[in-house]
Amino acid sequence: MAENMKTLGEFIVEKQLDFPDASGSLSQLLGAIRLAAKVVNREINKAGLVDIIGSAGQENVQGEQQQKLDIYANDKFKAAMEARGEVCGVASEEEDDFVAFNNTQSKNGKYIVLMDPLDGSSNIDVNVSVGTIFSIYKRVSPVGSEVTEADFLQPGRKQIAAGYVIYGSSTMLVYSTGNGVHGFTLDPSIGVFCLSHQDMKIPTDGKIYSINEGNYIKFPEGVKRYIKFCQQEAPEQGRPYTSRYIGSLVSDFHRNLLKGGIFIYPTTASAPKGKLRLLYECNPMAFLMEQAGGKASDGFSSILDIKPSELHQRTSFFVGSTNMVNTAEAMMADFSGPDAETNL
């Protein structure tokens, strides 16, 4: 690592100067996430050597089998949030309800955090990249009181920061506080995240589409038409596109962010409301994508404008290069609604 490489801690402090009213509490919160990410990364790298992979033998609130590392990551990130005292409560994909931190210091915290502690955890057994997704809001309840559900049910536009950690061939932390998207790679020799990708921007067009085509028969007609569009021979338009699907949202998102592309997880006949979680997955990724110059949608309108009604709300998700999402939205509009049959 180059000697003049800027660390995550240095970068956070430097950017804090861009906000004259900043108190440093958000910087401390990001520092807590950084610490928990390093702890989880260490454990992931032990997979196969210690008894940390495989099912924990219980289900989360969504009825999905929890992996041992899901629980481990959830516990570590919760502990890191509570220890700093800047966070009054967290909501997690792995928790039935939100968790209020009731010590005096935490009740005075200004922030709440929503998180997917370990996205794609079932892939660890086969050594595929996984990740952590986080979303940060200012509380709406009075400082000093106990956190309420209303603090967590805020539209994505209200986020003040969001990001993810990808645990792969290298470990990266990518985040935004509303002033661009920045990526930091962990140097394992010194245990420090160093700035490697400043002001990340997704290309307006891309050549990759990411979707689980095994569910094709269950997709809405607009999604089927978009897949056929991606597969059509049109060299002058850069098609056919390349199909790439990892099955870990963080991994697919990260690749498309760097190279250009679209990720789609639509509604299906068996999941009519969609499968991905609005608060823990879609909102933070949508925030990052818009900051990187891309677009995020439920197929018809912006993800960030959805008013949540429940903690574990699901939605369809179209995210990536702006022109690709626009095309997918147009096809969804053409093949939806009462007149759709006339277009088939």
Same structural domain for residues 34 and 168?
A: yes
Q: Where are the alpha helices (DSSP H) in 49-140?
A: 68-84, 104-107
Same structural domain for residues 192 and 214?
A: no
CA angle at residue 120 from 179 to 117, to 5 degrees? Answer: 60
Same structural domain for residues 36 and 67?
A: yes
- Greater confidence (203 vs 12) lies with 203
pLDDT of 333: 97
Same structural domain for residues 144 and 255?
A: no
CA distance 30 to 281: 18
| Span 186-226, pLDDT tens digits | 999 999 999 999 999 999 999 999 999 999 999 999 999 99
Binding residues: 93, 116, 118-122, 212, 245, 275, 281
Provide the residue type at 82 as one letter: E
Domain range enclosing 286 = 208-343
Task: Give the count of beta carbons closer than 10 Å to the beta carbon of residue 341.
Answer: 9
Which of 177, 197, 217 is the endpoint of a domain? 197
Q: Which residues contact 45 (CB under 8 A, 6 or more apart)?
A: none
Lowest mean pLDDT among 38-52, 120-134, 281-295: 38-52
Which of 197, 225, 243 is the endpoint of a domain? 197
Same structural domain for residues 212 and 193?
A: no
Binding residues for substrate: 119-122, 212, 245, 275
| Span 318-327, pLDDT tens digits | 999 999 999 9
Give the bridge partners for 99, in sequence order.
90
pLDDT of 130: 94
Handedness of CA 91, 95, 96, 100 (dihedral sign): negative
Same structural domain for residues 169 and 222?
A: no
Q: Does a structural domain hold residue 1?
A: no
Q: How confident is the model at residue 24 (pLDDT cuts 50, 70, 90)?
A: confident
E runs forming strands in 250-316? 262-265, 276-277, 295-297, 314-315
Q: How confident is the model at residue 1 (pLDDT cuts 50, 70, 90)?
A: very low
pLDDT (average), residues 237-247: 95
| Span 25-65, pLDDT tens digits | 888 999 999 999 999 999 888 765 545 555 545 656 665 66
pLDDT (average), residues 125-153: 94
Q: How confident is the model at residue 339 (pLDDT cuts 50, 70, 90)?
A: very low
pTM of this structure: 0.92
Same structural domain for residues 133 and 242?
A: no
Same structural domain for residues 218 and 186?
A: no
Same structural domain for residues 128 and 46?
A: yes
How many domains would you assign to the chain?
Answer: 2
Q: Does a structural domain hold residue 125?
A: yes
Same structural domain for residues 192 and 271?
A: no
pLDDT of 122: 77
Which of 171, 197, 223 is the endpoint of a domain? 197
Residue 92 in this model has a pLDDT that exceeds 70 = yes
Same structural domain for residues 335 and 262?
A: yes
The domain that holds 21 is classified in CATH as 3.30.540.10
The domain that holds 337 is classified in CATH as 3.40.190.80
Residue 14 in this model has a pLDDT that exceeds 90 = no
What is the rounded average pLDDT for all residues in the chain?
90
Same structural domain for residues 127 and 240?
A: no
pLDDT of 341: 41
Q: How far is CA 169 from CA 55, 140, 185, 282, 305, in A?
A: 24, 39, 11, 24, 35
Lowest mean pLDDT among 3-17, 96-110, 131-145, 239-253: 3-17
Binding residues for Mg(2+): 93, 116, 118-119, 281
